[in-house]
Chains A and B, each alone.
Chain A
Amino acid sequence: MKLLSDRRALGAIALLVVALLAPLGLGGWEYGLDVLFLIFLYGAMASSWNLLGGFAGQVSFGHAAFLGIGAYTTAILSARGVPLPFAVVASALLAGVFSLLIGVPAFRLRGPYFSIATIGIGEATRLIALNWTGLTGGASGLTLAEAPTIHVQYYAALALCVVAVLFSVWTKWSRFGLALAAVRQDPDAAETLGVHTTLAKINALFASACLIGAAGSLYAVHYLFVSPDSVFGFSTSIAFVIMPIIGGIGTIAGPIVGAAVYTFIREQFAATLANADLLAFGLLLIAIVVFEPRGIAGIAKRAQRAISKRTEKAAPDAG
């Protein structure tokens, strides 16, 4: 077990080194860097959603609200000349504060009822962005004047992704993570063992929202344009759910793997068949739910078990 976790940590460090050096290797190939940027940005988003949806089992269909708040905050602040690092922090905090406002009432609901309420929250924020024209520019959205270089964006997204993953690892092994696992399994039983379940869920939501608010900030400076449909859209909220499910909900690596698959599929279809990616995701989701609800992480685990079984069988022959 120790060896296994060490091997995993080594793998993660190796991947990180590759990611750090990738811009050198890719040289001037901007598209490649662009795709990697998106994988890390979406990886950070998926990993953050997973804190609440995976670890605590509270499936939110409204996480676009936090991305949108982050993106709009950055767009509005940068128009007023606020430097990017400050805008990122402000975006994260504002999304976090908003999550507290909605978390308190929303967590009075449970399971599917909570999930349905989050759809309402996501849609409500989209409509506010659409109609509060004075602040948000309404349907025509907001444009940002200038972006940092793609290299700055790339390393910012990578850093955010690393933060989200490290926070997930810490959560998984902490007392906080134990509370979330108990909430996921049986909130009533958790309560009777002294877990303040509402507080645990709100903390998970807050962390998740702050990280996604920061991701929204990077989203805004990457595309230099935010509109209600792009950041607050329901399809964005769905993407948050799809990525961890593809990769393996409630795991550390799953959301990142899911984000890579998601980005790859979307990029494949974006140029050729518009909206065909939605069909691909639909089919993929059906396949996962039917064959391996724990996603790619589940498949990997099965493969690992099969291999270790084979080596166990082989061992007596060798001896």
Chain B
Amino acid sequence: MPDSVLRGRGLTKRFGGLTAVSDVDIDVVRGEILGLIGPNGAGKSTLFRLISGVMKPSAGTIELLGKPMTGKSPNAICVAGIAFTHQIVRPLRELSVRENVSVGAAFGRSPRASHAEVHRIVDDVLRFIGLADRADAEARSLTLSGQKRLEIARALATDPAVLLLDEVLAGLNPTETDRTLELIREVRDRGVTIVMVEHNLRAVRSLCSRIVVLVEGHKIVEGAPDAVLSDQRVVDAYLGSAAHA
């Protein structure tokens, strides 16, 4: 695939007898928002964990911008340029919002050594994400939506080439959802390539330029949103139950 930023080949993850991700090839094109959908237990989050280095694949390879990433530690992969947000938020609870984001800015892909520079990046990210007025609050005092935005802010501060968003919309009310969708678009416009796991199909349809569907660990279809979402195999596997409900 031309201009592929992130490339996975034959990615497989086995837990004992269960194969959570099975021989998945994935290509992410520079500047796109790629949607990763599938029913619960399809292996979407596991695939994210393989890409971000939190789990080692049982088989397969991952490349970022042509460089091998397979088997590297999460911090090395973050430094190489892949950032991700946790599905269940993981704020550094007793640190301030500013300190949380500072960690990403001080380490990450473009580590900054000077206080002034870290400060500048953090101010910029906090303003962009809409948390500037909460900068000095403890991270644990934020609402869920605030903590989800903090996840994105921290990841952005690492200056990623690719950002993996794991269900950032889950648990948000409609207003917050719309605001977050807008935010994701703006992140893309800043030049960050995005892969998002999402259950909200309306959001996926409106945001993503391409969609990959996982079912029971296998990639069954990929392509443009309208084509994929009307594909009979996808309807059967994923939308079927929802359509009848």
Contact = CB atoms under 8 A, between A and B. Distances in A.
Lowest 10 CB-CB distances: which A-B pairs, in order? A194-B107, A185-B92, A194-B78, A189-B90, A194-B108, A191-B74, A193-B104, A193-B103, A182-B103, A196-B75
A179 B158 CA distance: 14
A126 to B, nearest CB: 34
21 contacts: A178-B103, A181-B99, A182-B103, A186-B91, A188-B54, A189-B86, A189-B90, A191-B73, A192-B54, A192-B75, A192-B78, A192-B83, A193-B75, A193-B83, A193-B155, A194-B79, A194-B108, A194-B109, A194-B158, A196-B73, A196-B75
B84 A192 contact: yes
Contacts of B73: 191, 196
A191 B78 CA distance: 8
Interface residues of B, number: 31
Contacts of A196: 73, 75-76, 107
A175 B104 contact: no
Given A185-B93, A191-B74, A192-B75, 5 more contacts: A175-B113, A188-B74, A191-B54, A192-B83, A194-B78
Interface of A: 175, 178-179, 181-182, 185-186, 188-197
Nearest to A182: B103
B94 interface: yes
Contacts of B83: 192-193
Interface in B115-159: 118, 154-155, 158
A197 B75 contact: yes
Contacts of A192: 52, 54, 74-75, 78, 83-84, 86
A199 B109 CA distance: 17
Given A190-B103, A195-B103, A197-B75, A181 B54 contact: no
B93 A193 contact: no
B107 A186 contact: no
B86 A193 contact: no
Nearest to A174: B115
Contacts of B158: 193-194
A195 B107 contact: yes
Interface string B81-116: 001101000111111000100111011110101000
A216 to B, nearest CB: 33
